[in-house]
Amino acid sequence: MTLTVGVIGLGAMGAGMARTLSGGGFSVQAFDLAEEARAHMAQHGVTIAENASAVVAACDVIVLSLPLARHVQDIIDDAFAAGALADAGKTVIDTSTSEADISRQLAARLSAAGHGFLDAPVSGGPQGAATGSLSMMIGGDAAAVAAAQPVLDALASKVIHVGASGAGNIAKLVNNMLVACHMLTTAEAMRLSEAAGLPAEDALRVINSATGRSAISEVHFPTWVLNNSLNSGFSAGLMRKDMRLALELAQQAGCDLPVARMVAQLWSQDRSGLSDNDDFMQIADLRNKAKLDG
């Protein structure tokens, strides 16, 4: 039986996932508040629903790609109010970078109504979404994972079931906290290398064969920094949000993170000079010697 899959949120990530699912043989329905996003998806053969609750009502598996946890809550609240969750057996996959406590609350509420909920944040950016090569870190019960497995496999080349509800959110925040740190430390290292007379490209050849390497040095710098394109598709605003959520999680857990606090300050608009809409790679612009000064 072919699953009917819904995608709610058609930004860079959601649009890529909707196209991947449609191309993978799934029947896909989608919705976004933005008319332009809806029109773009319709051109790719995706059925556009009247509203988000209509997507939930019509689909077996619903993929959410939304900016904030409160937006996810709103979708679920509206779906319950509209009767879209009256028939049991649906599975909601929240790919947003969200909050563990809220994911646990939503999972419990949906479970009581006979539905599954997975917090399944992703890594891999718009390119990964468009090619079905994302990495997904999943929190939720095994039955919900099994029900959603065909969809998960279509969207991701790596699917890691981390643990119970909320575990996926925690793993994503820990990962992105490291990304924020690695971006700054790698940018500083490249600035030092160039200031001392060794081009960044040559320094990276050494770093990426030694112990200083990371995904930032191996992928991000060669792809988006050395050629000065600085257009990864991930915004500085999203990085700030992820750092804020990581620090809030640390406070809840009673965990002191002095380095992360300093990194969050360096990512602020005042310190970095980047607006929320700027690509986060711009903080590593080796042409702009003012970045990270102070």
The tens digit of pLDDT for each residue in 183-225 reads 999 999 999 999 999 999 999 999 999 999 999 999 999 999 9
The pLDDT-based confidence of 2 (bands split at 50, 70, 90) is: confident
By CB neighbour count within 10 A (0-12 exposed, 13-18 middle, 19+ buried), where does 228 fall?
exposed
- Rounded mean pLDDT of 18-36? 95
- Concerning whether 289 is annotated as a catalytic residue, the answer is no
- Rounded mean pLDDT of 166-192? 97
**Angle at 153 (CA atoms; ends 151, 154), nearest 5 degrees:** 65
SS3 content of the chain, % helix, strand, coil (to 5): 55, 15, 30
Is residue 84 within 8 A of residue 116, CB to CB? The reply is: no
The pLDDT-based confidence of 1 (bands split at 50, 70, 90) is: low
Q: Token digits for 253?
A: 């857990």
The tens digit of pLDDT for each residue in 33-70 reads 999 999 999 988 899 999 999 999 999 999 999 999 99
User: Cβ atoms within 10 A of the Cβ of 39, count?
Assistant: 12
Tell me the C-alpha distance between 134 and 46, whole Å: 21
Of residues 36, 7, 9, the one with CA closest to residue 22: 7
| Contacts with 114 (C-beta within 8 Å, 6 or more apart), sequence order | 88, 89
Domains of the chain: 4-164 (3.40.50.720), 170-284 (1.10.1040.10)
Query: Out of 90, 172, 241, 291, which one is annotated catalytic?
Result: 172
What is the pLDDT, as a whole number, of residue 290? Answer: 46
Mean pLDDT of the chain: 94
Res. 136: pLDDT tops 90 = yes
Amino acid in position 20 = T
Res. 92: pLDDT tops 60 = yes
- Residue in the structure block whose two tokens are 């969809």: 151
